[in-house]
Amino acid sequence: MRARDVMTMPVHAVTPSTSVLDVARLLGERRIGGAPVVDAGGRIVGIVSESDLTRRPEIGTERRRSWLARFLAEPETLAADYVRTQGTTAETVMTRNVVTAAPETPLAEVAETMERRAIKRLPVVDHGRLVGIVSRADLVRAIVAHGAPAAAKEPQRHADDAALREQLLETLRRQPWAGGPTFNIMVEDGIVHIWGFVRSDEERRAVAVAAGGLPGVRGVENRLTIAHWDIGI
């Protein structure tokens, strides 16, 4: 499997000028651990994760160095600390050197990169543009999809799994009711596994119907969760 087979999309990204408050709301209400920062052309320029927002004066957790630590620290380090704790926009608190993957990157390489860099998510970039994101949770879900009951599998695949996944994503892109939810879709031996959040039980059923109606799909594992969001960034 490759990054494109398990990545979550669409990605909930923010702009450099998005306020820290709105970034925090997005992470909390969408139940995600980080948000890529993209410019007007859709190119990734940074990423803001939960760890970037843990040292904030609003909640009294800003870093307080001892006088000795301040004396020994380089001015650049103290200045960087100040910007990250006092900055009010995504641009000021984001991590700038973002490690990314390509859609065709093998999952083994994705996992190795996450482990070596001690990161929890890897944005997927195609020709410079952000197209998805792979998190540790997505890798765990891939194990679940791969471990579908043997009785549901056959020696010959009824359709190419990658093609089925793309057909379903394209079907959902065309639906006016599917504009807000975040889906993670994996297809293993014709079985469609769907994770993510929707706004209603009707949307949850509609996604399952869309998946089950594709030729070649032999089953749907619908794990979508209903959530209510009021934020729009």
Reported pTM: 0.64
pLDDT at residue 154, as a whole number: 45
pLDDT at residue 79, as a whole number: 76
pLDDT at residue 80, as a whole number: 73
Q: Which residue, 135, 101, 128, 99, is CA-closest to 38? A: 128
Q: What is the mean pLDDT of each run of 10 residues along the chain (233 residues)?
A: 87 93 90 91 91 81 71 72 81 91 93 91 92 90 68 50 88 79 81 86 88 89 76 40
Equal fold, 3-139 vs 147-226? no
Q: CA of 4: how far to CAs of 9, 67, 80, in Å?
A: 10, 49, 35
Residue spans of the domains in the chain: they are 3-139, 147-226
**φ, ψ for residue 176 (rounded to 5)?**
-65, -25
Query: Which CATH architecture fits 3-139?
Result: Roll (3.10)
Alpha carbon 75 to chain centroid, angstroms: 35
User: In the chain, at which residue ranges do the beta strands (DSSP E only) sit?
Assistant: 34-38, 44-49, 121-126, 129-135, 182-188, 191-198, 219-226
Query: Which CATH architecture fits 147-226?
Result: 2-Layer Sandwich (3.30)
CB 36 within 8 A of CB 13: yes
